[in-house]
Amino acid sequence: MSDTPHPVDPASRTTIPTVQTLSIQAASLIRSIASLSTVFWISIGGTILTVLFAGLNQLPANVASDSIYIGEYQVPKSILPIASLGFAAFVFWLTSNHLRMLDQVLTDSHMPFETMQEIFTLNPPVLNIFHPDNHRPFKMGTGSSILLINWSVFFGNSIAFTLSSAVQRGASISDFEIPELALYGVFTIAIIAYGVRAIDGPLDNILERLHGSTFKFGWARVLLAILLIVGVAAVNNVDQFRNPSDQSDGLLGPSMANAIDGETLFINGIEVQLIGIDAMEPDQVCLDRAGIDYPCGRAATRHLEQLVADRPIVCLPLFAVSKARIVASCNLLPEGAVPPKDSDAFMAADRRYSMSARMVRDGHALTVGIGKKYIQQDEVDAQRERVGIWGGSFEPPWTYRARR
């Protein structure tokens, strides 16, 4: 049988080389593998970003804030969980799309089997998830295991962002209400399930074509993924769930705190009610100097947030209301100051940094009980200078609660 002759250019009478079908198929296969590598790099880059943001979130300036500050820019914590889920859904879709494309290339290819295997051997994708060892469920160092670890760290940080937005802004819920937290949990599970289902099918087909075996997660990989997700989420929020009740010095802190309302802080998993004051209720409305309504309750909460945003708080617990709630005397820790060693050192500290006194002096709370003995003068000064609620008219918070 004679070979098919090459076409001839009539002008130059030179032979024009034809493009072999095999080379087109090989190039298509190589391009498909390379594009899959790009998608893997995108997913790894996304995980690195979540690790970066999680680290920034642990900085003192960001712990008690509702945003993460990067130089002069700030990223609201509340958008990070949504952005993480959106990124995960997009990359899962992109990965499954490229795997299906690669599977289709293999299906339509007329290349010899040995040639296809040689292409995968010489030009593997990042992580080399098509190596024959990847189908073994107990091989932890394979590309598929590394990809699973990558996504586990990603989702662990994503859950940490949610807890940071919800927990650090006050007790167990704040920026996120319980229905929103539950909905976020459902969406997280749904996206993980979608990713597993969308990627597993074409990956099985490709491994079957190349090695005659399908991919299996195996219980070891599943357990590793669960431990990583829970561990990463816990490490990024360990300070918020630590039990501080057994400190040997009898104090709570020093630690970063968050405001729940105008008289309650959240420190290391404990609600701390400031002693001697009664702040405006969160939904309370007062009148300003011009007789116009303004949300004095929210103003009290915001003011306490601002007071605790910049430096650690140290508290002397006085008595427990419940296992997770105490009444305490709390002080701001001045910059560069040595934390008190015990209750005596706490009592000897500069009273100008008392949180109870500051809230009364700035006109956002009234003295009650023991506060009338120790910080009454702060209330007199606030009233005389007409600061905060004293600038207009208001209803005492205890009267407001009784009427409501």
Segment 152-156 mean pLDDT: 93
In sequence order, what DSSP letters do the residues of 26-51 get, joined into one string?
A: HHHHHHHHHHHHHHHHHHHHHHHHHH
pLDDT-based confidence at residue 86 (cuts at 50, 70, 90): very high
Structure-model confidence comparison of residues 302 and 244, the more confident one: 302
If we measure between CA atoms, which residue out of 213, 155, 234 comes closest to residue 187? 155
Residues 210 and 333 in one domain: no
Task: Compute φ and ψ for 401, nearest 5 degrees.
Answer: -65, -40
Residue 6 in any domain: the answer is no
CATH number at residue 298: 2.40.50.90
Same domain, 209 and 336: no
pLDDT at 74 over 80: no
Q: What was the pLDDT predicted at 175?
A: 47
- Provide mean pLDDT across the span 23-29: 84
**Are residue 131 and residue 206 in the same domain, yes or no?**
yes
Q: Is 277 exposed, middle or buried, given 0-12, 13-18 or 19+ CB atoms closer than 10 A?
A: buried
- Contact of 37 with 125, CB cutoff 8 Å: yes
**Which residue type is seen at 224?**
L
pLDDT at 1: 41
Residue whose C-alpha is closest to residue 230's, from 152, 162, 171: 152
Residues 195 and 277 in one domain: no
Residues 203 and 82 in one domain: yes
7 lies in a domain? no
Dmax (CA) for the chain in angstroms is 112
Q: Which of 20-34, 53-67, 207-221, 278-292 has the lowest mean pLDDT?
A: 53-67
* pLDDT over 90, % of the chain: 25
pLDDT at 249: 58
Structure tokens at 262: 């105008």
Decide if 119 contacts 195 (C-beta within 8 A).
Answer: no
Q: Does the pLDDT at position 99 exceed 60?
A: yes
User: Is the model more confident about 242 or about 134?
Assistant: 134
Backbone angles phi, psi at 368, to 5 degrees: -140, 155
16 lies in some domain: no
Q: How many CA atoms lie within 13 A of 287 on its CB side?
A: 8
- Same domain? 181 vs 160: yes
Say if 304 falls within a structural domain.
yes
Q: Does some domain include residue 33?
A: yes
Q: What is the pLDDT of residues 196-239, one digit of tens each?
A: 899 988 988 888 888 888 777 778 888 888 999 989 888 877 65
Pair 209, 354 in one domain: no
> What are the angstrom distances between the C-alpha of 13 and each of 10, 49, 384?
5, 60, 106
Last residue of a domain, one of 241, 265, 293: 241
**Residue 102 shares a structural domain with residue 234:** yes
Residue 162 tokens, joined: 């949610």
Q: How confident is the model at residue 45 (pLDDT cuts 50, 70, 90)?
A: very high
Task: Give me the pLDDT at residue 165, please.
Answer: 66
- Per-residue pLDDT band for 174 (boundaries 50, 70, 90) equals very low
Instruction: Please give the residue that has the higher pLDDT: either 284 or 140.
Output: 284
pLDDT at 173: 38
Whether residue 298 sits in one domain with residue 226: no
Instruction: Kindly report the average pLDDT of the chain as a whole number.
Output: 81
Q: Using pLDDT thresholds of 50, 70 and 90, give the confidence band for residue 122.
A: confident
In a domain, 46, yes or no: yes
Please, which pLDDT band fits residue 135 given cuts at 50, 70 and 90?
confident
The predicted structure's pLDDT at residue 245: 47
Co-location of 96 and 184 in the same domain: yes
- Please report whether residue 316 resides in a domain: yes
Task: Establish how many alpha carbons lie within 13 A of residue 21's alpha carbon, considering only the half-sphere containing its beta carbon.
Answer: 5
What is the mean predicted confidence (pLDDT) over 333-354? Answer: 74
Residue closest to 200 by CA, chosen among 185, 221, 186: 221
Name the one residue in this structure whose structure tokens are 């190349």. 210
- Where are the strands (E) in 167-275, listed by range? 252-255, 258-261, 264-267, 270-274
Residue 341 has pLDDT above 80, yes or no: no
pLDDT at 216: 76
Cis check for the bond before 254: say yes or no (omega within 30 of 0).
yes
Please report whether residue 9 resides in a domain: no
What Cα–Cα distance (Å) separates residue 55 from each residue in 52, 68, 168, 239?
Answer: 5, 10, 15, 14
Q: Could you tell me if 289 and 208 lie in one domain?
A: no
How far is the C-alpha of 298 from the C-alpha of 261, rounded, in Å?
8
Q: Single out the residue in 207, 241, 275 at which a domain terminates.
A: 241
Q: How far apart are CA 60 and CA 143, in angstroms?
A: 37
Between 314 and 255, the higher pLDDT residue: 314
Per the structure, the complete domain to which residue 368 belongs is given by: 252-403
Pick 60 or 108 by higher pLDDT.
108
Which two three-digit tokens encode residue 348?
């000897």
Cα–Cα distance, 298 to 312 (Å, whole number)? 22
Sorting pLDDT into bands at 50, 70 and 90, what band is 71? low
Average pLDDT over residues 260-275: 84
Residue range 141-153, pLDDT digits in tens: 888 888 989 999 9
Q: Closest Cα partner for 79 from 66, 89, 62?
A: 66
pLDDT at 55 over 90: no
Percent of the chain at pLDDT exceeding 70: 84
Tokens of 379: 């209330």
Instruction: Assess whether 156 and 101 both reside in one domain.
Output: yes
H-helix or E-strand spanning residue 279: strand 277-279
In whole angstroms, what is the distance from residue 131 CA to residue 122 CA?
A: 12
The C-alpha atoms of residue 325 and residue 26 are separated, in whole angstroms, by 68
**Would you say residue 272 has pLDDT above 60?**
yes
- pLDDT at site 295: 92
- pLDDT band of 331, cuts 50, 70, 90: confident
Q: What pTM does this model have?
A: 0.60
Quote the CA–CA distance of 52 and 189 in Å, as a whole number: 24
Cβ-Cβ contacts under 8 Å for 282 (sequence gap 6 or more): 261, 262, 297, 298, 300, 301
pLDDT tier for residue 96 given thresholds of 50, 70 and 90: very high
* Lowest-pLDDT range of 16-20, 99-103, 397-401: 16-20
Number of domains in the chain: 2
Of 198, 213, 241, the last residue of a domain is 241
